[in-house]
Amino acid sequence: MTIRHTTHHDCFAAILLGSTLALAVPVSAATDTPATNTPAATDTSAASQAAPYSDADKWQFEITPYLFAAGMNGKTGISSVTANVDMSFDDILNNLDQGLMALFEARKGPWTYGLEGVYFKLKNEGAKSWQGPLGNTGTGSLEATMTEQLYGLTVGYRVLDEHTKVDVIGAARYTQLDAELNLVTTGPLVPGSNSISGTENWWDPVIGARVLQPLFDAWTLVGYADFGGFGVGSDRTYQLLAGVNWQFAKSVNAKAGYRYLYQDYQNDNFVWDMTSSGYYLGAGFKF
């Protein structure tokens, strides 16, 4: 982690809670995105759906903008400072300054390839609770302007292509957090205003599987699970997803469901032990 101090005070508490707020709008994460496919295309994301590949020599493409309405719950820490995080989606939405989430996918035969990008900025988000050398929630307040970038590269292969379909998935996920924080303390130890900024980033390898179960015309159930980290980036990370896809037009399909993403990341004195969970909603456009 790189840290730039703008005062001479110990501001570890500010770094800690800034990192917490940075991931308040997840991807997953970490994560894989809530995207599905139509009978003509297969997604590389957790919520994707595909029909049997009929032309192995023909490339098919889809782009899916989406929303992950997640809340955050967990613990983060730096040095001797720790914080418990419990943020609802409403808390996050009220302080969202900029946001963009989208997935691009390409398919040829049994193979699928994806590129996911997530960018958002939270401005002047107030911390729920904090504790450290400068005091605690009762002796001061903290506001943060946070930016998160998440990029995911995925590869999928269809191993079962009957009425029920099964894909195996491999992915590499990159996460970067940038924090700009302001801590105002009123206690007797170090009263005054302290500002600080910091950056943390890591890669996670991930493996997973997706099951697609058609129900009737235009509707398909989707189940997905993955696991990764393996100490390369995070110590461990996993994701569970259940959703439904609706093909309501020839080149457009709706995607909705519920997603649960967990990350356990440690680097030197930085700790990120966090769960992101909530409903997702997206629309896939084929071309």
Share of the chain above pLDDT 70, in %: 60
Domain ranges of the chain: 2-286
Model confidence at 156: pLDDT above 50: yes
Which pLDDT tens digit goes with each residue over 262-284?
989 888 877 778 888 888 899 99
Which pLDDT tens digit goes with each residue over 187-215?
555 556 666 666 789 999 999 999 999 99
Residue 15: in which H helix or E strand, if any? helix 12-22
pLDDT given at position 187? 58
pTM of the model: 0.73
Give strand pairing partners of 93: none
Mean pLDDT, residues 145-151:
76
Model confidence at 242: pLDDT above 90: yes
CA distance 74 to 82: 11
Higher confidence at residue 54 or residue 184? 184
CATH of span 2-286: 2.40.128.90
Which pLDDT tens digit goes with each residue over 77-135?
666 666 677 777 777 677 666 677 888 999 899 999 999 888 877 666 655 565 655 55
Query: Under DSSP, is residue 137 helix (H, G, I), strand (E, B) or coil?
Result: helix
Which pLDDT tens digit goes with each residue over 12-57?
333 333 333 333 333 333 333 334 443 333 344 444 444 444 555 7
Mean pLDDT, residues 254-269:
89
Whether the Cβ atoms of residue 277 and residue 26 lie closer than 8 Å to each other: no
The closest of 233, 235, 229, 227 to 273, measured between CA atoms, is 235
Q: Which residue has the tokens 């998440």?
A: 150
